[in-house]
Amino acid sequence: MTLEITTARPESALLDLPWSTPLEEWPESHLAALPRGISRHVVRFVKLGPRVLAVKEIKADIADREYAMLRNLRRLDVPSVVPFGVVHGRTDEHGEPLDACLITRHLQFSLPYRALYSQSLRPDTAVRLINALAVLLVRLHLDGFWWGDVSLSNTLFRRDAGAFAAYLVDAETGELHPRLSNGQREHDLDIAQVNIAGELMDLAAGGFLEENADPFEMSASIIERYHTLWDELTGTERFNTGDRWRVDERIRRLNGLGFDVDELSITTDIGGTEIVITPKVVDAGHHSRRLLRLTGLDVGENQARRLLNDLDAYAAASDRQGEDEEILAHDWLATVYEPVVRAVPRELTSRLEPAEVFHEVLEHRWYLSERAGHDTPITEALADYLSNVLPSKPEEKAVLGVDTEEMPVISRTD
């Protein structure tokens, strides 16, 4: 058989990897020490020049299907890992065929849920992870994607201003449709509830979950969170013609959730006494797109909201609310944001991504101000944060030496 490598962009260095060796036996010299989640397949992180790739060993037809699906999801701008390539025609040293490999880019500063629980986390971490997964599932369903294997294990999480942002990792069971039926959406929710309950039971058995936490109640919360968000994004609203301000209120409410409304369907009855409004197309990333337009910063949605709030505070403090927004944003970037992120010592830059560092400095400033009883200058808060807080953070860009496969497992949901 002839080795065949299909990639989204040419990468000759792929030829140097030991494709004739089963992935499980690849030498350490090729591997990156990153935390791996639970998977039914062999997965390894591989160093390839300046980047890190995730390589998954699976059957050829599944590899092709998942590669194509991930490419489609990227075109829809769905939070997911970026497909890099597929390798076919592998044989071992005896000429025996080996499974194909799917290659994706490693998502920097992301972690599987079990790696997050290997750290010291807030008690409500499970709730925040489930909320993030519910938001991801709503976004997938709005785009017509039926996942078929919803779980924490099939998701990567990145910190997003105190919350988490979820990214789809495993798409091999997924299907894209023009529109999902209610039955398809509910089926995904049923799968999610069962899988998450099992995953949380594993954590509880290993002592990683709060002592009084109920895995079944916590997993059921994804249903409530999902339906609340889905109804807000797609639900029909009726009101009298005298309450037309509620159209703008609905849009602002959706923007507050991080979604843009591309189109609204507004109808009135024959007598003109009632208005019916339904969002037709809802697009996620409202705050992150606005921040990107103003500053060029490409960050998470909650991080963008927090940075925009600080931009507003900067405008108020300098009495510049009426100035051109883009000029104001440029000044804020140069005098507030960039000095903070540039102050992080090189040896600490892999602890958190820059936008999360800035968010935590703002949080730390608030904490110091409350303790002191007066406003703390950001320079003072930054110095204290860099000395006493950031050095104790784990390296989330590349968490070395943490292998979540070694954490105790009762049942595998992926």
CA 292, CA 355: separation in Å to the nearest integer? Answer: 12
Q: What is the pLDDT of residues 175-191, one digit of tens each?
A: 999 999 999 999 999 99
Predicted pLDDT of residue 283? 65
The answer for residues whose C-beta is within 8 angstroms of residue 160's C-beta and 6 or more apart is 132, 300, 301, 302, 303, 356
Per-residue pLDDT of 120-149, as tens digits, reads 556 677 788 888 899 999 999 999 999 999
Q: What is the pLDDT of residues 240-282, one digit of tens each?
A: 766 767 777 887 888 777 777 766 677 776 666 666 777 665 5
CATH number of the structural domain 111-234: 1.10.510.10
Mean pLDDT score, 308-326: 85
Q: Give the model confidence (pLDDT) of 214-246 as tens digits.
A: 889 989 999 999 999 898 888 888 877 667 677
Which pLDDT band holds residue 25 (cuts at 50, 70, 90)? very high
Please state which CATH class domain 4-108 belongs to.
Answer: alpha beta
CA atoms within 13 A on the CB side of 303: 23
Return the percent helix, strand and coil in the chain, to nearest 5.
45, 20, 35
Residues 6+ apart with CB under 8 A from 164: 128, 129, 131, 132, 157, 158
**Is residue 407's pLDDT more than 80?**
no
E-strand ranges in 95-187 read 100-105, 110-111, 145-146, 155-160, 163-168, 175-176
Helix (H) or strand (E) holding 381: helix 378-388
Sequence ranges of the chain with CATH classification 3.30.200: 4-108
Residues 101-116: what's their mean pLDDT?
Answer: 86
Which residues belong to CATH 1.10.510.10 in the chain?
111-234
Q: How far is CA 330 from the centre of its chain?
A: 27
What is the Cβ-side half-sphere exposure of residue 150, based on CA atoms within 13 angstroms? 33
Residue 288 burial (C-beta neighbours within 10 Å; 0-12, 13-18, 19+): buried
Q: Give the containing element (helix H, strand E) for 85.
A: strand 83-88
Identity at 347, one-letter amino acid code: E
